[in-house]
Structure 1
């Protein structure tokens, strides 16, 4: 393909954000600082729910270190 048929590259300049001294995160209203703290508290609660306990982390570590045959047997047992 000849270069003479290629489209010319247009110069692109990103939009300049308004500088309020604070980054704006999508989905978080920064009008009130209380809203940000509430959002962070809610995020922390959700993360705590999905974080593994010490016992769960140990079981996962042992599962990963075992042989493929043992992992298949464990998964079969858990499937029943």
Structure 2
């Protein structure tokens, strides 16, 4: 034990916090590409969101009998 050198206490540098969380696998630079992509994603989600009427029709379709669902699908199919 006499030959052991003392180990200096090392603390890693803390990254500067600018309020932005970093996600693993996404390298953020100073471009707006991420904001553009998030905007496009939000638009697509809004476009795909069901209206209240569509939600009610889907709820009723799911509650009906298998025979009624089959007839509705037949009518819709042609």
Query: What TM-score does the superposition give when structure 2 sets the normalisation length?
Result: 0.62
Q: CA RMSD in A?
A: 2.2
Distance 2:24 2:54 in 1: 33
CA pair 54-76 structure 1, distance change in 2 beyond 3 A = same
Paired positions, count: 61
Residue segments in structure 2 that go unaligned for 5+ positions in a row:
1-13
Q: Are 1:29 and 1:35, in contact at CA under 8 Å, matched by a contact in 2?
A: no
CA pair 44-37 structure 1, distance change in 2 beyond 3 A = same
Query: What TM-score does the superposition give when structure 1 sets the normalisation length?
Result: 0.61
* Aligned match for 1:65, one of 40, 63, 66: 63
* Aligned match for 2:49, one of 33, 48, 51: 51
Q: Are 1:29 and 1:36, in contact at CA under 8 Å, matched by a contact in 2?
A: no
Shift of 1:33: 5.3
Distance 1:66 1:34 in 2: 48
Residue segments in structure 1 that go unaligned for 5+ positions in a row:
1-18
